[in-house]
Amino acid sequence: MRVTATRAPGHRRTCTVLATAALLLPLLGAAPSAGAPASASANGLQLAFASAAARYEVPQSVLLGVSYLQSRWDSHAGAPSVTGGYGPMHLTDARTALADAPHHSEGTEDARGDSARPAVLPETEVPAPTSFPARLTTLPKAAELTGLSAAELRTDPAANVAGGAALLADAQRDLGEPLSDDPADWYAAVARFSGADDTATATAYANDVYEVIRTGEERTTDAGQLMALAAQPDLSPDTGQLRGTGLRTLDAKKTECPKSVSCEWIPAPYEQFGDNDYGNHDLGNRPKSQSIRYIVVHDTEGAWEGVLNLVQDPTYVSWQYTLRSTDGHIAQHVKAKDVAWHAGNWYVNAKSIGLEHEGFLANPDAWYTEAMYRSSARLVKYLAKKYDIPLDRQHILGHDNVPGPTTSTVGGMHTDPGPYWDWRHYFELLGSPFKATGGKQAGLVTIRPDYATNQPEYTGCVTKGVPCAAHGSSEVRLYSGPGESYPLIKDIGLGTVPGTGVNDISSRVSTGQQYAVAARDGDWTAIWYLGQKAWFKNPVKDPTAVRAKGRVVTPKADVESVPVYGRAYPEASAYPAGVPAQAVSPLPYKLLKGQKYVVGEKVPGEYYYAVTFTTDSHRVVVGKDLYYEIQFGHRVAFVRAADVDVQVSR
């Protein structure tokens, strides 16, 4: 959002004083004296912001606005973010949280997922960085400025807030600006706090912070602290300050991004090498040649610089966009018209755009910044509007929702972005929140737990079998009966005993996904899931799902079961000469008589043939057979339209 430097100084300062008073009076009574950080007692975090603002002469609204954009004021019990950031101010200490390699560099999933070609599996390693950019080492600097220990800054929220205030004040002085009590005078310091080294990213970040201050926010944090920032709708910061920061200018000419984000072009190479080998994507002509129907959300599990090195390797994989966690900056690598190799399912690749969100930890028990969530949501809204992609969970997929294309691939599919990606908040930012749409007798449910309080036990975040730290989650666990004493639901495609491992998705549903109700028993609801009745706790007073209406499919009356597919490929007769027919191979699941599954959309069988570097042999094959995409388990799937009937559930 563009902001103007034009303002009325006297009016602005009066608004600032009144807003600060409005913020403090209902919650604090009296501001604490400047000194040591406030304790985390009742309203302790709000007091900590007031104390740190007074001590370091930073307007409290600026401090609160920056913290909201970093963490939404959450402390995460001292756990680091995906970029090694700690506490409400997201002070970074990357040396304490270094990952081994991006998620595409491990595992057995073939990111291309096209059985017409040999699998593309990792052959290169991404070296660990020997040094870190300034944006990933703000915590050590905060320790120098405050005299507080690194351990305190990581684990004590009040100390962390003091460290953030000290960094803002230091930036303000370094820019030659006064320690003003007017938040409008802190625009450049806020931009500097982002850690960005370019004008576009710093501007987008600062604009977001000031938008938060203008609109105001109030929420209860993950530690149960009620926080509030009073709205200052007339606040107009001095954006001209940014001219003196010396930041670089990005090359955004070739990018396909909305103006509300910062975006640069770092191309993935389309190069030929070896014996007709080429990479790391396929040239296409979408949406003219074939529609774009999906956006796939990934988590890199690796550092920004290493991930950029990976996508510039012509021998391996690619995706369209990478998003940086600290400030929400975006790099585009592949044009939307072209097909990137990222999802592990060629049908999905050919009809999707892949977004990699920076992750730094091998430990999935990490969190993502508000800056990245907001930047990602703006990009997705832009892409969804441009390509007419519905904003729902059957079109905005996690990598963990993409089905294995064949039976042999099911076990090797990836599970990112995992249970800690906040889908509920993400869709609120997309402007499509998950709401109850059905009545008391509705036959469908939308999974919608409260992220902060929904904390199922996971294991294996750091050590196999060892419980992860308590953490909010988007996912709900499924049992074979109405109680936690029943065994977990089993995924026959995986062939393993289901458990609580953080990457075990066999018995989990995710926020925003919709399912048909199979039964109810007190506080427990059963849904149809992978051909079974799967139960989850859903108490009336604290529901983990809301009632919904919509369309479902069920097997035709004269059949006992129908096959389920991981891709919607055409029938053999649809393939022209020169294009080998691809197998229409079912997965090891069945949609059984009497069961119902929520419908996404009806699509024709389609296959993109692209196995050569030159594009003259490329073809989009479209068949006569039609399919329905369904929410079958944790992952989506497909059934042939001729095998099922469609019903409307209200």
Q: At the topology level of CATH, where does 250-419 sit?
A: Lysozyme-like (3.40.80)
- Note the pLDDT of residue 450: 95
- 621 vs 78, more confident: 621
Q: Does residue 82 surpass a pLDDT of 90?
A: no
Separation of first and last alpha carbons in the chain: 40
Q: What is the pLDDT at residue 53?
A: 98
Q: Is the per-residue pLDDT at 24 higher than 70?
A: no
If one counts every other C-beta atom within 10 angstroms of the C-beta of residue 327, the result is 27
Under the banding of pLDDT at 50, 70 and 90, the label for residue 367 is confident
Q: Token pair 């990602």 is at which residue?
A: 376
Q: Is the pLDDT of residue 16 over 50?
A: no
Question: CB-hemisphere CA count at 13 Å for 243?
Answer: 4
Q: Is 130 exposed, middle or buried (0-12, 13-18, 19+ CB in 10 A)?
A: exposed
User: Would the pLDDT of 361 be above 70?
Assistant: no
Dihedral (C-alpha) 129, 130, 136, 140: value to the nearest 10 degrees?
Answer: 160
Q: What backbone phi and psi angles, to 5 degrees, belong to 9?
A: -55, -45
Averaged pLDDT, 643-648: 97
Q: Could you give the CA distance from residue 261 to residue 156 in angstroms, rounded to a whole number?
A: 32
The pLDDT value given to residue 123: 56
Residue 532: closest CA among 445, 597, 456 = 597
Q: Please say if the pLDDT value at position 433 is more than 80.
A: yes
Instruction: Supply the mean pLDDT for the chain.
Output: 89
pLDDT of residue 106: 56
**C-alpha torsion 409→410→411→416, nearest 10:** 110
Q: Report H helices in 269-367.
A: 304-311, 346-350
Report which of 436, 433, 417, 416 is spatially closest to residue 425, judged by C-alpha positions.
433
Determine the pLDDT at residue 366.
66
pLDDT class of 33 with cuts at 50, 70, 90: very low
One fold for both 9-93+137-244 and 250-419?
Answer: no
Cβ partners under 8 Å of residue 579, min gap 6: 609, 619, 621
pLDDT, average across residues 289-300: 95
Q: Rounded distance, CA 121 to CA 106, Å?
A: 9
CA distances from 349 to 97, 284, 410, 429, 461 (A): 31, 12, 16, 25, 29
Phi and psi based region of residue 23 (left: phi greater than 0; alpha: psi -120 to 50; beta: remaining): alpha
Inter-residue contact 49 to 161 (CB < 8 Å)? yes
For the chain, give the percent of residues with pLDDT over 70: 88
174 Cβ neighbours under 8 A, 6+ residues apart: 192
pLDDT of residue 360: 46
Yes or no: say if 78 and 91 are a contact pair by the CB < 8 Å rule. no
Mean pLDDT, residues 265-273: 94
* Calpha distance 122→86 (Å, rounded): 32
- The neighbouring-strand residues paired with 389 are none
Separation CA 27–CA 39 (nearest Å): 15
Distance CA 257, CA 36 (A): 44
Question: What are the Cα distances from residue 200, in Å, to 168, 260, 263, 378?
Answer: 20, 10, 8, 15
Question: Which of 462-466, 497-501, 526-530, 612-616 is least confident?
Answer: 462-466
- Please check the confidence at residue 109 and state whether its pLDDT lies above 50: yes
599: phi then psi, degrees, rounded to nearest 5: -90, 140
Give the confidence band of 80 by pLDDT, cuts at 50, 70, 90.
Answer: confident
Question: Nearest-CA neighbor of 61 among 228, 240, 238?
Answer: 228
Is pLDDT of 126 > 60? no
For residue range 476-500, list pLDDT tens digits in order.
999 999 999 999 999 999 999 999 9
Find how far residue 145's CA is from the centre of its chain: 33
Predicted local confidence at residue 368, as pLDDT:
84
Residue-wise pLDDT tens digits, 238-250 = 999 988 788 888 8
Is the separation of the CB atoms in 254 and 266 below 8 Å?
Answer: no
- Does residue 17 surpass a pLDDT of 50? no
Q: Dihedrals φ, ψ of 451, to 5°?
A: -60, -45
What CATH code is assigned to 9-93+137-244? Answer: 1.10.530
Which amino acid is it at 51? S
pLDDT confidence of residue 636: 98
Res 101 pLDDT > 70? no
Cis peptide before 280 (omega within 30 of 0): yes
Q: Which two tokens stand for residue 132?
A: 């870190």
The per-residue pLDDT for 40 is 44
The 3-class secondary structure across 476-529, one letter per residue, is EECECCCCCCCCECCCCCCCCCCCCECCCCCCEEECCCEEEEEEEECCEEEEEE
Q: Going along 203-292, which residue ranges are E strands? A: 217-220, 226-229, 263-265, 271-273, 277-279, 281-282
Q: Is the pLDDT of residue 415 over 50?
A: yes
pLDDT at 2 (0 to 100): 31
Taking each helix axis from N to C end, the angle separating 9-28 and 44-56, rounded to the nearest 10 degrees, works out to: 140
Query: What local confidence, expressed as pLDDT, does residue 241 receive?
Result: 93
Least confident of 46-60, 112-126, 268-282: 112-126
Q: What is the pLDDT of residue 15?
A: 39
3 state DSSP class of 314:
coil
pLDDT in tens, 562-587: 999 999 999 999 999 999 999 999 99
Q: What's the token pair of residue 643?
A: 């095998």
Residue 125 pLDDT class (50, 70, 90 cuts): low
- pLDDT of 41: 53
Number of DSSP helices (H) and strands (E) in the chain, helices first: 12, 28
CB 641 within 8 A of CB 633: no
Cα 585 to the center of its chain, rounded Å: 31
Please give the pLDDT value at position 291: 97
- Domain positions in the chain are 9-93+137-244, 250-419, 435-546, 554-649
Residue 544 half-sphere exposure toward CB, CA atoms < 13 A = 27
Query: pLDDT tens-digit profile of 381-409?
Result: 999 999 999 999 999 999 999 999 999 99
Q: Is the peptide bond before 258 cis (omega within 30 degrees of 0)?
A: no
Give the number of other CB atoms < 10 A from CB of residue 438: 18
Element (H, E) at 357: strand 352-357
Q: Which residues face 608 on adjacent strands?
A: 620
Percent of the chain with pLDDT over 90: 73
CA distance 121 to 118: 9
Q: Quick one: average pLDDT of 253-267?
A: 94
Q: What is the pLDDT of residues 201-236, one digit of tens each?
A: 999 999 999 999 999 999 999 888 999 999 999 999
Residue 454 pLDDT: 95
Q: Copy the structure tokens of residue 411.
A: 């076990």
According to DSSP, the β-strands at 619-631 and 597-609 are antiparallel
Question: What band does 28 get if pLDDT is binned at 50, 70 and 90?
Answer: very low
Q: 466 or 68: whose pLDDT is higher?
A: 68
Q: Which string of b and e fits 465-475 if b means at least 16 CB within 10 Å? A: eeebeebbbbb
